[in-house]
Amino acid sequence: MAEQRILGAVLAGGRSSRFGSDKALAPMPDGRTLLDHAIAGLTPHVAQVVICGRNGGLTDRPAPDMGPLGGLNAALHHAHDHGFTGVLTTGCDMPLYPADLPAALIGADAAILKGQQLLGWWPVSLAAELDAHLAEANNRSIYGWLDRIGARVVEMPGLVLPNINRPEDLAGL
């Protein structure tokens, strides 16, 4: 089997309302930002990393402020247009990315880590389906999208990942 060419996408278009400021740019104790850590976590597993939903990155598709699905859709179309097999995603508020996660996620179908819907694998073949989903009258919930495509849920017992939503979450690391 030919080696897959994988795109990494950091979903970073949220409003950070619970955080109170742009959490993607919040510094970790080592001085690097949450966004820097998310990029570093994906980089060893992919051919290229893109940032979705921020100035200088991929614009949410089909329109700005679409939430994580707008960023995922932008990444899927970028992957399709540039010869990638699929997309590994993480959120900008996920400073840790387990080294063994890609092997557990990547397969013929979409997959997410249980309890962490932004840590996922999305085959490029889903681009048109996500276009259709976002064009319909729905709440654009990632849960609705996961149900629609029947995404596989991967469990990694014992794995606890920090998710930074508030300043105290970051302070607790």
Positions at the binding site:
11-13, 23, 65, 93
**Cis status, amide bond into 62, omega within 30 of 0:** yes
Annotated binding site for GTP: 11-13, 23, 65, 93
E-strand stretches of 59-169: 86-91, 111-113, 116-123, 152-154
Length in residues, the chain: 173
Name the residue among 126, 11, 3, 94 with its Cα closest to residue 60.
11
Residue pair 100/91 in contact (Cβ under 8 Å)? The answer is: no
Numbers of helices and strands, H then E, in the chain: 6, 6
Separation between Cα atoms, residue 164 and residue 147, nearest integer Å: 25
Binding site residue list for Mg(2+):
93
